[in-house]
């Protein structure tokens, strides 16, 4: 009881359980035990650190994670990802406990579209259908007609009648890519992901020159001048499958470098080079995704904190756009 009170205090102060973990504990064993005892499932995004990917029950992209969240019969969903992903899981499971190891694990892209500003923007286009990338806040989803992820975005855009004008939010890079792919003009919100925006054109050009045998692959959240160089553009799952199926043995990968853990597991004899960002780091990690650690995951499962709470009106008005996305995806076999 005392321990829980301390945990709650730490959570209120820091947004996560800033508690010491006995260094002699085998956290893999302890987390497995907690999963069984509590009937909990761990859903992890590919951008999580390797240890978290290895202990997860399901690792996937944003669409796969939403589909798993919708289908699970676990009592507790532990989301090893960022805030908007855990919110989506909560909207799909209002009766379940949804945990996020660190409430500070946000998303620069979601933050780039504050709901009050978007509300005003949307008022200027009253006849437009709003398509929002799932990387947005729960409140933005209440103003959205249909969500999309990078896996299903083209299908979602194509499902909207040709004469129906579209607002696309919040990612300007994904929006521009979708315009090029679908030939549809859209009104695009001016947001971006801090990770995919800072790939270095110059350093990538040099890498491609140094490894002429390598394929250069990129996530559509990257800027157009990076995408122009790519042999393949796709969601994290798309990129992963491409490296498995393509005959090339070396790949330069322009997305968050966490995915390379799965690429390497899937194709152990192939070589993966993370595309470098425009700073002194060799690879590009999302500071939000990387807030989660194995220790925080363990503490979060032990104390069942931090928990995601959403106001009922947000769940009521925000869920429809996710359901619509899941429906269209299922019909498209995604
Ligand atoms: P996907 O894994 O759906 O491609 O999304 C990438 C991303 O940026 C998640 O934050
Ligand atoms: Fe958000 Fe970009 Fe991090 Fe994904 S990689 S969570 S879009 S900041």
Q: Ligand nearest 112 Cα, by number?
A: 2
Q: Ligand nearest 289 Cα, by number?
A: 2
Length of the chain: 334
Q: Do 37 and 83 reside in the same domain of the chain?
A: yes
Q: Ligand nearest 44 Cα, by number?
A: 1
| Nearest alpha-carbon partner for 250 in 283, 268, 273, 266 | 273
User: Which atom of ligand 1 lies nearest, measured to the CA of 195?
Assistant: 8
For ligand 2, the distance from its centroid to the CA atom of residue 55, given in whole angstroms, is 22
Q: Which pLDDT tens digit goes with each residue over 239-286?
A: 999 999 999 999 999 999 999 999 999 999 999 999 999 988 877 999
Residue nearest to atom 2 of ligand 2 (CA): 193
Residue 221 tokens, joined: 């959240």
C-alpha separations of 159 from 63, 101, 132, 151, 324 in Å: 17, 36, 14, 14, 11
Report the SS3 class of residue 254: strand
- Domain limits for position 243: 201-274
Q: Do 98 and 126 reside in the same domain of the chain?
A: no
* 1 vs 33: CA distance, rounded Å: 21
- Check if the beta carbon of residue 193 is closer than 8 Å to that of residue 157: no
Question: Rounded to two decimals, what is the model's pTM?
Answer: 0.96
> Would 283 be classed as within a structural domain?
no
What is the overall mean pLDDT for the chain?
Answer: 97
Ligand 2 pocket, residue 92 CB under 6 Å: no
> Would 279 be classed as within a structural domain?
no
Domain count, the chain: 3
> Would 13 be classed as within a structural domain?
yes
Q: Do 56 and 117 reside in the same domain of the chain?
A: no
pLDDT at 1 over 90: no
Q: Do 72 and 167 reside in the same domain of the chain?
A: no
For ligand 1, the distance from its centroid to the CA atom of residue 62, given in whole angstroms, is 6
Q: Do 215 and 79 reside in the same domain of the chain?
A: no
Q: Do 186 and 319 reside in the same domain of the chain?
A: yes
For ligand 1, the distance from its centroid to the CA atom of residue 102, given in whole angstroms, is 18
> Would 88 be classed as within a structural domain?
yes
Least confident of 225-234, 264-273, 279-288, 313-322: 279-288
> Would 51 be classed as within a structural domain?
yes
CATH of the domain at 183: 3.40.50.10800
């Amino acid at each position: 009881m005392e321990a829980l009170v301390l945990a709650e205090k730490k959570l209120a102060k820091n947004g996560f359980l800033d508690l010491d973990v006995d260094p002699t504990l085998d956290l893999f064993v302890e987390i497995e035990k907690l999963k069984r005892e509590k009937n909990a499932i761990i859903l992890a995004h590919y951008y999580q650190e390797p240890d978290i990917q290895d202990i997860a029950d399901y690792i996937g992209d944003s669409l796969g994670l939403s589909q798993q969240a919708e289908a699970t019969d676990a009592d507790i969903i532990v989301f090893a990802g960022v805030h908007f992903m855990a919110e989506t899981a909560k909207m799909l499971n209002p009766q379940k406990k949804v945990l996020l190891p660190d409430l500070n694990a946000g998303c620069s892209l979601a933050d780039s579209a504050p709901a009050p500003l978007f509300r005003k923007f949307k008022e200027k286009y009253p006849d437009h259908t709003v398509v929002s990338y799932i990387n947005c806040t729960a409140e933005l989803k209440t103003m959205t007609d249909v969500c999309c992820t990078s896996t299903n975005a083209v299908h979602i855009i194509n499902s909207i009648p040709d004469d129906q004008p579209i607002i696309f939010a919040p990612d300007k890079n994904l929006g521009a890519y979708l315009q090029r792919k679908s030939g549809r003009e859209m009104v695009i919100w001016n947001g971006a992901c801090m990770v995919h925006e800072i790939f270095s054109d110059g350093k990538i050009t040099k890498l491609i020159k140094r490894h002429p045998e390598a394929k250069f692959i990129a996530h559509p959240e990257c800027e157009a001048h990076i995408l122009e160089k790519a042999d393949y553009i796709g969601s994290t799952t798309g990129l992963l499958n491409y490296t498995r199926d393509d005959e090339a043995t070396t790949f330069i990968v322009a997305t968050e470098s966490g995915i390379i853990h799965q690429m390497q597991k899937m194709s152990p004899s192939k070589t993966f080079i993370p595309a470098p960002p425009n700073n002194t780091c060799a690879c590009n990690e999302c500071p939000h995704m990387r807030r989660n650690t194995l220790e925080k995951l363990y503490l979060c499962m032990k104390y069942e904190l931090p928990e995601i709470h959403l106001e009922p009106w947000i769940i009521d008005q925000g869920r429809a756009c996710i359901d619509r996305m899941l429906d269209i995806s299922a019909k498209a076999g995604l």
